Amino acid sequence: MSDPVLGLSGIDKTYNKGRPGEVQVLAGVDLALEKGEMVALVAPSGAGKSTLLHIAGLLDVADAGRVEIGGADMSGLGDRRRTRVRRAEVGFIYQFHHLLPEFTALENVALPQRANGVARLAAEDRAMHLLEQVGVGPRAGHRPSALSGGEQQRVAFCRALANSPRVLLADEPTGNLDPETADQVFETLTGLVRDTGLSALIATHNLGLAARMDRTLKLDQGRVVAG
């Protein structure tokens, strides 16, 4: 079998090690995400989902263990390489959209591509294409404050996919929306993941959404187990 798109092995993480408030969050996490898989990560609040996603997405460093993306070992990379790999290979979606308020939807989706060296017109073309794919094309010229919560989150999906990453990491991506909008927006996200064939790890409290993914993992006592 080929290498997993994302592989974590033996990941440990303790905050405030050796200091007051020490908290061991991850204790030997093993996880493999295959190409095209959409996997739910379910656990109660405080169990370490965000910590795990941040380590998997190279935003934080584990105390021990190995992170591989596309078969390449990410341990020991310097900050600049990590940032470069993260920009190219990983898309992040959060519970809140975190769009830049002073830029339009189109610009918000074009900006990460510009940071990756894509020319302005090509970046805007791709941004428009993605926005149209999620039904926000007609709102492309609006700033985030003029968009609904569902539209804002759809734009955030486009931004996460703008650089055609291998891996999509999402932390409660519909957690801030009313149930009906959450359902529609999740459907959009599923469509995007399926169309692009990328692999997604999606943390959620929502067991109904988890059941619509390929499989569920649980975070239990600092380890990942089958759901």
Q: Minimal distance in Å, beta carbon 224 to ligand ADP? A: 12
Q: Minimal distance in Å, beta carbon 45 to ligand ADP? A: 4
Of residues 19 and 80, the one with the C-beta less far from ligand ADP: 19
Of residues 16 and 148, the one with the C-beta less far from ligand ADP: 16
Q: Minimal distance in Å, beta carbon 143 to ligand ADP? A: 29
Q: Minimal distance in Å, beta carbon 216 to ligand ADP? A: 15
User: Cα–Cα distances in Å, from 195 out to 32, 36, 156, 188?
Assistant: 21, 9, 17, 10
Q: Minimal distance in Å, beta carbon 117 to ligand ADP? A: 32
Rounded Cα gap, residues 126 and 109, in angstroms: 8
Of residues 15 and 211, the one with the C-beta less far from ligand ADP: 15
Of residues 91 and 222, the one with the C-beta less far from ligand ADP: 222
Q: Minimal distance in Å, beta carbon 207 to ligand ADP? A: 15
Output the 3-class SS for the chain: CCCCCEEEEEEEEEECCCCCCCEEEEEEEEEEECCCCEEEEECCCCCCHHHHHHHHCCCCCCCEEEEEECCEECCCCCHHHHHHHHHHHEEEECCCCCCCCCCCHHHHHHHHHHHCCCCHHHHHHHHHHHHHHCCCHHHCCCCHHHCCHHHHHHHHHHHHHCCCCCEEEEECCCCCCCHHHHHHHHHHHHHHHHHHCCEEEEECCCHHHHCCCCEEEEEECCEEEEC
Rounded Cα gap, residues 72 and 70, in angstroms: 6
Binding site for ligand ADP (CB under 6 A): 15-16, 23, 25, 43, 45-51
Of residues 43 and 161, the one with the C-beta less far from ligand ADP: 43
